[in-house]
């Protein structure tokens, strides 16, 4: 029988990557660098920004993510474990009724999704969520 592993166990490429890419410092620092480029090194506080993402991705190739922060002029979204972490930057004008955005992103493996908001007063806010990318298969 010519079953490949892919077909048998529903493994995305993400899962193969998982074994070898755990805790890659290079990618984490890519995200840190990108964040520093936005904030210019200013202090970032937690809270005041909502990031909604599934705890476990149903499909790592298209993961719905939603961000909102009242009073934000800009919200940047990062997938810290992807080869290219920058996902999107939402910009809001003074007349924007809702400072929120949503999109779907591809996640290479289990990782933190990070959102950074630049507020009207020039301060920065941060939220992050761990999204697990898994083989699955044995629900009770």
Partner 1 sequence: MISRRDFLQTSMAAAALYGTSGFGNWARVAAQQLLTQDKLLEFDTFGNVSLIHVTDIHAQLKPIYFREPSVNIGVGGNKGAVPHVTGADFRKLYGIDDGSPSAYALSHSDFSSLAKGYGRVGGLDRVSTVINSIRATRPDALLLDGGDTWHGSYTCHHTQGQDMVNVMNALKPDAMTFHWEFTLGSERVNEIVEGLPFAALGQNIFDAEWDEPTELFPPYKFFESGGVKVAVIGQAFPYMPIANPGWMFPEYSFGIRDERMQEMVDQVRSKGAELVVCLSHNGFDVDKQMAGKVTGIDVILSGHTHDALPEPVLVGETIIVASGSNGKFVSRVDLDVRDGRMMGFRHKLIPIFSDVITPDPDVAQLIDAQRAPYVDQLSEVIGRTAEDQTLYRRGNFNGTWDDLICDALISEREADIALSPGVRWGPSILPGQDITREDIWNVTSMSYGEAYRTEMTGEFLHVVLEDVADNLFNPDPYYQQGGDMVRVGGIGYRIDVTKPQGSRITEMTLLKTGERIDPSKTYQVAGWASVNEGTEGPKIWDVVEAHIAKQGTISLDPNNSVKVVGA
Classify 75 in phi/psi space as left (phi over 0), alpha (psi -120 to 50) or beta.
beta
* 7 vs 43 by CB, closer to partner 1: 7
**SS3 state of residue 104:** strand
Q: Which is nearer to partner 1, 43 or 55 (CB)?
A: 55
- 23: three-class secondary structure by DSSP: coil
The reply on whether position 26 binds partner 1 by CB under 8 A is: no
As given in the structure block, the two tokens for residue 4 are 């490949």
The answer to the question of residue 140 lying near partner 1 (CB under 8 A) is yes
Q: Can you say how many angstroms the Cα of residue 9 is from the centroid of all Cα atoms in its chain? A: 26
Q: Cα(87)–Cα(101) distance, rounded to whole angstroms?
A: 12
Q: How far is CA 36 from CA 7, 26, 31, in A?
A: 42, 15, 9
What minimum distance in Å lies between the beta carbon of 129 and partner 1? 11
Question: Applying CB under 8 A, does 55 fall inside the site for partner 1?
Answer: yes
- Shortest gap between Cβ of 136 and partner 1 (angstroms)? 4
Residues 95-134: x where in contact with partner 1 by CB under 8 A, - otherwise, as a string: ---------------x-------------------x-x-x
Which residues of the chain form contacts with partner 1 (CB under 8 A)?
A: 1, 3-10, 15-16, 18-19, 22, 52, 54-59, 64, 110, 130, 132, 134-140
């Amino acid at each position: 029988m010519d079953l490949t592993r892919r077909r048998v166990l529903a493994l995305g490429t993400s899962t193969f990557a998982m074994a070898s890419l755990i805790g890659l410092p290079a990618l984490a620092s890519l995200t840190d660098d990108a964040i520093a480029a936005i904030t210019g090194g200013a202090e970032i506080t937690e809270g005041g920004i909502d990031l909604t993402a599934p705890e476990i991705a149903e499909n790592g190739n298209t993961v719905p993510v939603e961000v909102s922060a009242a009073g934000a002029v800009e919200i940047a979204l990062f997938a810290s474990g992807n080869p290219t972490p920058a996902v999107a930057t939402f910009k809001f004008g003074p007349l924007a009724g809702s400072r929120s955005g949503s999109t779907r992103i591809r996640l290479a493996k289990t990782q933190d999704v990070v959102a950074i908001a630049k507020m009207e007063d020039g301060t920065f806010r941060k939220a992050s969520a761990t999204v697990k990318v898994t083989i699955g298969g044995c629900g009770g």
